[in-house]
Amino acid sequence: MAEEIKVGCARPTGGLVGAEEEKQATPGETQTAKGKELKTMIQVGKQAPDFTSPAYHKGNFVSVKLSEYLGKWVLLCFYPGDFTFV
């Protein structure tokens, strides 16, 4: 399911699916407005924003896309950082 990624010196980053096109289409002020809007988009009963993200999974560096998990239940957990205590 998850595609393996090549590792270089640059740290790989992911992002929202479709966010790049949006950025190009809306310059300046509206862009920040869009960003703010995104923050409040999260609501129960509403679609989760799709994203791709580099990941470490069982010894490999892979790329994970949320929409690849359609058909399954997903627990998406955020945390402050590796090596934090709780």
Using the rule CB under 8 A, is 75 a contact of another protein? yes
Task: Find the shortest distance in angstroms from Cβ 21 to another protein.
Answer: 14
Q: What is the rounded distance in angstroms from the CA atom of residue 68 to the CA atom of residue 40?
A: 24
Using the rule CB under 8 A, is 77 a contact of another protein? yes
Give φ, ψ of 24 to 5 degrees. Answer: -65, -30
Give φ, ψ of 4 to 5 degrees. Answer: -75, 145
Task: Find the shortest distance in angstroms from Cβ 18 to another protein.
Answer: 11
Using the rule CB under 8 A, is 51 a contact of another protein? yes
Residue 25's contacts (CB-CB under 8 Å, 6 or more residues apart) are none
Place of tokens 């929202």: 16
Q: Which residues bind another protein (CB under 8 A)?
A: 2, 7, 11-16, 19, 35, 38-51, 53-58, 61-62, 64, 66-67, 69-84, 86
